């Protein structure tokens, strides 16, 4: 009987279900991950924690354990969307983290009065649909800079260029063979030309809708390439900043990284000596956006000793339901709002436009 149970457990552990489980991850100080020139760095008093979650496909055996442990279970379609193969999920997370790091640097330096340059550099491949012309030819993180020799600096220009092509026609894509490191760094590579023959548009994949902001992108006869692409922005920073987030993916550490950069480049007393945590996407203009796994992140930051937790405003009640009375939860819509809350908590917040150095 024992042997039968062992075999059954072995088999069940290898049967993957069409679900993913979210469980509390690790909350860690962001300060040690940030490097700036020594002449601009300040000793940091207190901690800013970034936090993540563990995301894993559920096995038949793991399903029971996940239910017992109170994990959040999501359908695979919710996690992967219509285009993402499971094997690309990790690379997508690193691409999102690379974008988040870039936006955090821009938001922090702009808040400190530094001038940040920006230009659209092409479109980054975010996903390739299995079985599509692009699948196996274009990888997540590679940049497409032109279609048939016509520059495509952003997602709109890329979509407009493809809209002229019908199924069966061939397109020539100028592709930078970049790749993503585990620390979410986009490593440059050589540029090559890929010739791909477009297919008929499958019924299972929705066509991109026409929008006033990007006209000429909804031809009913448009051929199918099979990638999800996002505009890639190259920033020029007046201060050299590196952030090493090894093996952490996704965009949700944006707010925490931004606060950590400001703390390092200003007085080092941003938190008033407290251990605070933050989750939320960050835009270059300082806007804070919603993220996933807030209940699980709340558990993680409490385990790490945080007394304050900044979350996107719309998700404050979600975090409060998961928190104990010892954790103060602040809902914020912007970097400016988070800094104002820190000032009320006796943090030393530099004035807008002032590096405080």
272 vs 54: which has the higher pLDDT: 272
Q: Is the pLDDT of residue 258 over 70?
A: yes
Give the span between the Cα atoms of 142 and 223, in whole angstroms. Answer: 21
Q: What is the pLDDT of residue 123?
A: 96
pLDDT band, residue 64 (cuts 50/70/90): low
**β-bridge mates for residue 74, sequence order:** 20
Residue 86 CB: number of other CB atoms within 10 A? 12
pLDDT band, residue 10 (cuts 50/70/90): very low
192 vs 203: which has the higher pLDDT: 192
Q: Do strands 179-180 and 150-151 pair parallel, antiparallel, or not at all (unpaired)?
A: unpaired
Q: Is the pLDDT of residue 11 over 60?
A: no
Q: Is the pLDDT of residue 77 over 90?
A: no
Of the candidates 144, 164, 162, 167, the one whose C-alpha atom is nearest the C-alpha of residue 154 is 144
Q: What is the pLDDT of residue 186?
A: 77
DSSP state of 166: B
Q: What is the pLDDT of residue 67?
A: 52
Distances in Å between the alpha carbon of 342 and those of 29, 198, 265? 17, 53, 16
How much of the chain exceeds pLDDT 70, in percent? 90
Residues 6 or more apart whose CB falls under 8 angstroms from that of 275 comprise 46, 47, 49, 304, 305, 306, 307, 308
Cα–chain center distance at 136: 23
DSSP calls for 232-289 = EEEEE-SS--EE--TT--SSTTHHHHHHHHHHHHTTS-TTTT-EEEE--EE-TT-BEE
Is the pTM value of this prediction over 0.75? Answer: yes
In order of start, what are the domains of the chain with their CATH numbers? 22-75+104-115+238-344 (3.30.230), 117-234 (2.30.42.10)
How much of the chain exceeds pLDDT 90, in percent? 67
327 vs 70: which has the higher pLDDT: 327
Q: What is the pLDDT of residue 311?
A: 98
Q: What is the pLDDT of residue 151?
A: 96
């Amino acid at each position: 009987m024992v042997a039968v149970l062992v075999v059954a457990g072995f088999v069940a552990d290898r049967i993957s279900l069409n679900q993913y489980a979210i469980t509390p991850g690790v909350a860690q100080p962001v300060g040690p991950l940030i490097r700036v020139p020594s002449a601009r760095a300040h000793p940091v008093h207190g901690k800013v924690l970034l936090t993540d979650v563990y995301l894993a496909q559920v096995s038949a055996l793991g399903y029971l354990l996940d239910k017992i442990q109170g994990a959040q279970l999501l359908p695979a379609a919710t996690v992967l969307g219509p285009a993402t193969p499971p094997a690309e999920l990790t690379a997508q997370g690193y691409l999102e983290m690379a974008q988040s790091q870039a936006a955090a640097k821009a938001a922090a330096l702009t808040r400190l009065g530094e001038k940040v340059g920006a230009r659209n550099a092409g479109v980054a491949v975010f996903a390739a649909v299995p079985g599509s012309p692009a699948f196996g030819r274009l990888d997540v993180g590679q940049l497409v800079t032109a279609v048939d020799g016509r520059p495509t600096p952003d997602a709109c220009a890329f979509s407009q260029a493809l809209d002229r092509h019908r199924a069966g026609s061939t397109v020539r894509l100028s592709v930078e063979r970049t790749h993503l490191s585990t620390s979410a760094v986009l490593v440059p590579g050589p540029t090559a030309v890929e010739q791909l023959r477009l297919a008929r548009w499958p019924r299972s994949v929705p066509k991109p809708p026409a929008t006033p902001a990007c006209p000429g992108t909804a031809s009913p006869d448009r051929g199918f390439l099979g990638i999800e692409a996002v505009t890639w922005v190259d920033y020029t920073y007046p201060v050299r900043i590196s952030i090493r987030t090894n093996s952490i993916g996704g965009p949700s550490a944006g707010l925490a990284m931004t606060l950590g950069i400001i703390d390092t480049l200003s007085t080092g007393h941003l938190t008033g000596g407290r251990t605070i945590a933050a989750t939320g996407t960050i835009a270059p203009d300082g806007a804070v956006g919603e993220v996933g796994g807030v209940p699980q992140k709340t558990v993680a930051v409490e385990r790490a000793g945080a007394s304050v937790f900044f979350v996107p405003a719309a998700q404050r009640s979600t975090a409060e339901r998961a928190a104990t009375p010892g954790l103060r939860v602040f809902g914020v819509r912007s970097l400016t709002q988070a800094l104002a809350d820190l000032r009320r908590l006796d943090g030393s917040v530099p004035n807008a436009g002032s590096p405080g150095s």
